[in-house]
Structure 1
Amino acid sequence: MKREWRGRCSLQQRRLEFLHSSPKNRPVIGVQKPNHMSQQSRNKGASAPSSLHPSAILDHAIAAHRSGNLSDAERAYTTILKGSRTHPVALHMLGLLHAQRGKFADAEPLLKKAARADPGNADVLFNYANVLRALDKTDDALAWLAKVIALSPNFAGAHLNRGAILLARKELHGAIAEFDRAIAIAPSSAAFANRGSAFQQLGRLDEAHGSYQSAVELAPSDPQKHFALSEVLTQMGRDDEAIGALERTVALDKAFPFALSKLVASRRKRADWRSFEREQAALDEAVESGVVVDPFTFFHASSSPAHQLTCAKTYVANVAPDRGAAIRKTPSPVSRLRVAYMSADFRSHATAHLMAGVFEEHDRERFDVSAISYGPDDRGEMRNRLKAAFERFEDVSHLTDEDVAKLIRQLDIEILVDLGGFTAGARPKILARRAAPIQVNYLGFPGTMGASYIDYIMADRIVIPEAEQQHYAEKVIYLPDSYQASDARRPLLPNAPARNRVGLADDAFVYCAFNRTSKITPVLFDVWMRLLTKTAGSVLWLLDGEPIARENLRREAVARGIGAERIVFAPPVAADEHLARHQLADLFLDTLPYNAHTTASDALWAGLPILTCLGTAFAGRVAASLLNAVGLPELVTHSLDEYEGLALRIAHDSELRTALKSKLATNRTSWPLFDTIGMTRHIEKAFNEMWRRHCAGEAPASFAV
């Protein structure tokens, strides 16, 4: 994003203005072109002799500044200030030069002196306020912008920048008032876009859409405006229009942060595979070239741990860079180890369903366990259960990242476990502030976060083979058996409904694939359609999603010679009903390169065997981890040809199917996968070893429990 600067260059009020890149959440602010400079000051490369009159040196400095010769300009401004330390124009312009280089701390004292030397110059005060804003001194910045407006009430940029500060501080109504004033004075794309953001955060989506649309009309070649429009259209459920806006964003700038990954995610959610291979290649190229791509989307599409590390590193460098030094702390010998779990998903959500039992089983004599919840409160049964499971449950959804980090420090948390990573609603900027001495990536995000401030990732030897540790920024903690927690307190399954009540024929062989549509790839769908071709009377049972996804999947089936009626969709139902209907299926077909995770745990808990193909990255190895931990390694294949062959063998051999289901039923209660107490003890041992290393002054290192 951009910030506006204004420069008074001489008594003739010549202007020098330039662009400055700002953090992601700062507004886009228009920039005026510089006015004409004297012919004398156009000599770009020559240094100005110190014997010249200060006005001539200033002309030379400004000409060098305009042409991008910043070193020469800096020397000339410095020469002027040696002769006159309070020269207002030289102070102002040298301050702007430092700001242009991103050296705001160097710019601040110069612009402060310039503002004192020329207090009636609105441009000088405006630029000083901008530097204060860049240094996060927002109270001071607002005060100086108020002075600008007092001097020049129709200064649109001052209203716009005040609104931007209020927007960042979540003072949304005040921000809208400032943007309205800026628009009344001089309608601009930036003002409309920022007003749209404020309306969007207030949930006033129609007004947000109108503002973004105006921003696009005023700046049709600005990809950022189209991207912002796509975001609100997505929230409004106008997906076709949102995809169109994303397409325009990518067409204008294929390197625009997140645009390509959001476009790919939108199309895969709808099973729109018309450009699948081209989009896959574009994603890989974007990551390799340093474009900011959403890691969660990329991990769904990538089979390369090395590329995933590159993607995550680029993401954190741009979105959540390291903001604090590691905390050193020595505990009291008698104190319990203070652990906090942080998540957006302490509610009826997959993460909560896996972890609830672990939270409850922690040894309270040795561990003080807290929840840091920044997600929505659905007021449901799981939310209430989780509140009861923790010693303290902190709802921080209303707090800023900095305030959450301060709270975690005030609670004296020693190990902070992040259950979200880069999934929906996650807030990695809290971790970037080094809220706790030890910070751990676990469960919710299947891969590296690429961040220097995440010390460990909890895994197992299947999801992260030892030979691949170099593809993880974190040190790896190897839990025995599977890394994935589970909740043995899940209720017993109710009776399965009759097949005809869920659209299944009584005599059909049911291949089940209850993963999200976005995990299904054309190559995998080819395999599934061949299975239907070779298995008489079979159907493929999928989760229902968007209507257009249903249409696309059925159309893809027909294109492969399979009748549309053989693709059956399971509508959304309550969690216990969903578990129960697994009993109607004969075989669960896993996806690749992103496996079933919680979905796989659900199927195995419900007694349904899963057939998987071992992938090459964490997300594609999870089902293999679970199957090994429940004693069914024979259902892990190592190629899609092997996967297809074993699926057919199981479909055509009723005795084999019976044996697999019987083995799963026996192992479910005797093997480690669903042993919640055992998993909790393993996690606690990991915590103790992390803390022992920390207190001994040892750097984080990979280890096995």
Structure 2
Amino acid sequence: MSQQSPNKGASVHSAVLDQAIAAHRSGNMSEAERAYTTILRGSKTHPVALHMLGLLHAQRGNFADAEPLLKKAARVNPGDPHVLFNYANVLRALGKADDALAWLSKTIALSPNFADAHLNRGAILIARRELREAIAEFDRAIAIAPSSAAFANRGSAYQQLGQLDEAHDSYTRAVELAPSNPEYHFALSEVLVQIGRHDEAIGALERTVALDRAFPFALSKLVAAKRTRADWRGFEREQAALDEAVGSGVPVDPFTFFHASSSPALQLTCARTYVANVAPERGGVIPRTPSPHSRLRVAYLSADFRNHATANLMAGLFEAHDRTRFDVSAISYEPDDRSEMRNRLKAAFERFEDVSQLADEDVVKLIRQLDIEVLVDLGGFTAGARPKILARRAAPIQVNYLGFPGTMGASYIDYIVADRIVIPEEEQKYYTEKVIYLPDSYQATDAKRPIPSIAPARSEVGLADDAFVYCAFNRASKITPPLFDIWMRLLTKTAGSVLWLLDGDPIARENLKREAVVRGIAAERLVFAPHVSAGEHLARHRLADLYLDTLPYNAHTAASDALWAGLPVVTCLGTAFAGRVAASLLNAVGLPELVTRSLDEYESLALRLAHDSELRAALKSRLASHRTTWPLFDTARMTRHVEKAFDEMWRRHCAGEAPASFAV
């Protein structure tokens, strides 16, 4: 809002108006309001009193009260650009974007060098995704009066256009002009990540947190960035800061927090805070009165209908749905990666809707037009997710499944699909969703996944023929110092052993090697597996001897891959959903003895298996047999259980019953 002093005519030089303006400027709003009101009782069209009282209401956030006052002020005094500017800003705050743009244009017509008017027009145009037009307005504002806000907004527009170098330059100028503003350092960090300058991004995040420890999501993004690179400097301090931030209501990225937290209570707090700040509920329940003979209309919502872990698990289930009873659609909001998996998924659904170019509200309209009755969200708050679609209550029943291992903390998510291991009944209180208990494991699997019959030779992947190979094909972000300590002790106590890890970020690789050396292990005993196709990845599991799980966030798809490939997995049962998944899988494939209850027990069991070749051989033999006889890899059985869950959800809804936890 513009607070420039009004031009005063002879009638304005009253003691009351001077007193009102003085009180307004000093922050004594109540006294100012009384004085402006007194003036307007005597003169209902007093231009200055109308303007200043409207501005006062706007500054308080009472935009509905401000609008009629500023509208009248603009009509009485149409030649004052500050009056028109403030009226436009109130219209913008009330969501009247077209009107706001029109009044800002009038402001600029009166005062072409009004930089803030150009700036605010640009901000409205960004919200409308008219990005080129927005940039033109920011350029005009910068030419008149360079400001950090104009550069930052221009950076946002360029970033959304994918012009990352231009976005970086604009954000850099914003930081130079306002180095104490944490918002600009944070925005710069985002684009630095996108252009692959991760060290600089970490530096920008560190500056953000140093300026404002409570800046939304800065701490969690800093922690995520460092753990992705296995940069454990300050690990314990950062962990304590994350817990403190969540406990004090600072917005933290839930997916990052689930990787770091063992507390389902804090995870619930984290999710609720995230929802309140990012995707609060915006729509009511949509009633449905189905035909008694109609198929239940189910849609799966995801960014991962592509070459992705979620698709690798779910493809078989999509294909196995009973089409005589279920009408099944895909709502995909990430672009086509043109992979074999994408093509397979397109064929698996009756309807495959690519909504990657649609705004959230348009996706909601589409889902409602399709008359979807059960909407299954496979993403939660993972990368690329769009929870605002769910927040608008796109379907009468909305379900959290598979991709996000914990509560979404949102009133608009009715159910979460689980089993009694990942969510014990006594922990339902930590979930805003009602819990659907599947009888085996909650995790879908695809029994059609082919494994090449011939694995590569060990020498082809950098493994010695006589080495004992501990395998941990998890992302570096899941590896923690306490767990790595255990792995290094296992290498110390197992002659000729190596640890086989996924290769990703080269900095992470070097950091892990350095951490091994610090613990007395030669760097060469860490072997890194490069990215290969899904089939080749499954095949190379046969070269390993034992899979070591992670905590507090287990291997999920990675554990399923290992078991499908015939490699036993040793896990430690965690205290939250994300840390109990491998235990769920092992129970469903008939190997519960590989589930330990403490890290000491985990270390002891792994060492015993490494030193007992007969026990390992027996486990591998049982796993080979159980793969085809136990429930974990029975895709058809899993699909029937999921369908029974859909039927019960819908029965309850049609009977007018509130969502409630139940077991299939």
Structure 2: unaligned runs, 5 residues or longer: none
What residue is the counterpart of 2:495 in the other structure?
Answer: 536
| Paired letter, 1:373 | S
1:394 CA displacement = 1.0
What is residue 562 of structure 2 aligned with on the other side? 603
Give the AA of the match of 2:53: L
* Contact in 2 for aligned 1:199/1:207 (Cα 8 Å): yes
**Is 1:477–2:436 an aligned residue pair?**
yes
**What is the Cα deviation at residue 252 of structure 1?**
0.8
Contact 2:451 2:565 (C-alpha < 8 Å) held by counterparts: no
Matched, 1:463 2:459: no
Is 1:95 aligned to 2:91, yes or no?
Answer: no
What amino acid does structure 1 have at the position aligned with 2:121? Answer: R
Decide whether the 8 Å contact of 1:9 with 1:93 is kept in 2: no
| Deviation of the 1:644 alpha carbon | 0.4
Q: State how far apart, in whole Å, the 2-side matches of 1:673 and 1:109 are.
A: 65
Contact 2:494 2:607 in 1 (8 A): yes
1:27 is aligned to none
1:646 alignment partner, one of 605, 609, 617: 605
Counterpart contact for 1:458–1:476, Cα < 8 Å: yes
Q: Name the counterpart of 2:178.
A: 219
CA contact (8 A) 1:494 1:577 kept: no
1:265 aligns with 2:261: no
What is the rounded CA distance, in whole Å, between the counterparts of 1:241 and 1:635 in structure 2? Answer: 42
Map 1:179-578; keep pairs closer than 5 Å. 179-578=138-537
Partner of residue 178, structure 1:
137
Q: Cα offset for 1:233? A: 1.1
**Distance across 2 between alignment mates of 1:10 and 1:153:** 19
Displacement of 1:167 in angstroms is: 1.2
Distance 2:240 2:330 in 1: 40
Q: For residue 552 of structure 2, give the secondary structure of its aligned residue in structure 1.
A: coil
Distance of 1:86 and 1:695 partners within structure 2: 57
- Quote the Cα distance in structure 2 between the aligned partners of 1:318 and 1:68: 28
Matched, 1:585 2:581: no
Equivalent residue, structure 2, for 1:23? none
* Paired AA for residue 417 in structure 2: M
Question: Residue by residue, what CA displacement relative to the aligned partner does 1:592-627 show, whole Å, maximum 9, x if unpaired?
Answer: 000001111111111111000000011000000111
Equivalent-residue separation in structure 2 for 1:95 and 1:413 (angstroms):
45
Task: Report the CA distance between 1:78 and its aligned residue.
Answer: 3.4
Give yes or no for contact 1:230–1:246 (8 Å, CA) kept in 2: yes
Asked whether 1:142 is paired with 2:101, we answer yes
Residues 103-112 or 416-425, more deviating: 103-112
Tell me which residue corresponds to 1:59.
Answer: 18
Report deviation, 1:463. 0.7
8 A contact 1:532–1:539 mirrored in 2? yes
User: Percent sequence identity over matched residues?
Assistant: 83
State the TM-score, normalized to the length of structure 1: 0.92
**Aligned residues of 1:431 and 1:454 also touching (Cα < 8 A):** yes
Q: Structure 1 residues 80 and 364, CA, compared in 2 at 3 Å: closer, same or farther?
A: farther
1:130 paired to 2:89: yes
1:6 corresponds, among 2, 6, 13, to: 2
Q: 1:90 to 1:362 in 2, by over 3 A?
A: farther
Change (3 A) 1:73 1:366: farther
Aligned partner of 1:665 in structure 2 is 624
CA deviation profile, 1:552-572 (whole Å, cap 9, x unmatched):
111111111111111110011
| 1:9, distance to aligned residue in structure 2 (A) | 5.5
SS of 1:162's partner is helix
Q: Is the 8 A contact 1:7 1:92 kept in 2?
A: no
| Rounded Cα–Cα distance in structure 1 between residues aligned with 2:30 and 2:291 | 54
Relative to structure 1, is the Cα distance of residues 120 and 347 closer, same or farther in structure 2, using a 3 angstrom cutoff? same
TM-score normalized with structure 2 length = 0.97
1:86 counterpart SS class? coil
- CA RMSD of superposed structures (Å): 1.6
Deviation at 1:355, TM superposition (A): 0.9
- Give SS of 1:477's match: strand
Q: Which secondary structure state, in structure 2, belongs to the residue aligned with residue 541 of structure 1?
A: strand
Residue 279 of structure 1 aligns to a residue whose secondary structure is: helix
SS in 1 for 2:417: strand
Q: CA separation in 1, counterparts of 2:35 and 2:375? A: 52
- Determine if contact 2:216/2:250 at 8 Å carries over to the other structure: yes
Q: Distance in 2 between matches of 1:78 and 1:671?
A: 78
User: What residue in structure 1 maps to residue 660 of structure 2?
Assistant: 701
Distance 1:434 1:566 in 2: 52
**For the residues of structure 2 that align with 1:339 and 1:106, how far apart are their CA atoms?**
45
Instruction: Give how far 1:333 is off.
Output: 2.1
Corresponding residue SS for 1:346: coil
Task: Report the CA distance shift for 1:160/1:53 in structure 2 as closer, same or farther (over 3 A).
Answer: closer
The separation in 2 between residues aligned to 1:673 and 1:69, in whole angstroms, is 68
The Cα shift of 1:371 comes to 1.0
Q: Is the 8 A contact 1:478 1:703 kept in 2?
A: yes
Q: Deviations over 1:130-163 (max 9, x none)?
A: 1222222222221111111111111111111111
Counterpart code for 1:476: V
Which residue is equivalent to 1:627?
586
Give the length in aligned residue pairs. Answer: 663
Contact 1:320–1:432, Cα closer than 8 Å, also in 2: yes
Structure 1 residue 410 displacement after superposition: 1.5
Q: 1:93 to 1:688 in 2, by over 3 A?
A: farther
Contact 1:475–1:701 under 8 Å retained in 2: yes
Quote the Cα distance in structure 2 between the aligned partners of 1:367 and 1:209. Answer: 48
1:362-389 Cα distance to aligned partner (Å, 9 max, x none): 1112111111111121011111111111
Q: Is the CA contact (8 Å cut-off) linking 2:451 and 2:536 kept in structure 1?
A: no
Query: Do the aligned partners of 2:335 and 2:354 also contact (CA within 8 Å) in 1?
Result: no
- Rounded to whole Å, the distance in 1 between the matches of 2:394 and 2:14 is 52
Give how far 1:10 is off.
4.3
Distance across 2 between alignment mates of 1:320 and 1:250:
23
Indicate how the Cα distance of structure 1 residues 200 and 645 shifts in structure 2: closer, same or farther if over 3 A, else same.
same
* One-letter identity of the residue aligned with 1:142: L
Pick aligned residue for 1:692 from 651, 654, 659: 651
Residue type at the aligned position of 1:305? P
Larger deviation, residues 621-630 vs 107-116: 107-116
Distance, in Å, in 1 between the alignment partners of 2:191 and 2:447 is 41
Structure 1 counterpart SS, 2:376: strand
> Do 1:108 and 1:128's aligned partners in 2 also have CA atoms closer than 8 Å?
yes
User: What residue in structure 2 maps to residue 104 of structure 1?
Assistant: 63
Distance change in 2, residues 1:693/1:56 (3 Å): farther
Task: Flag the 1:249–1:683 CA change in 2: closer, same or farther, 3 A.
Answer: same
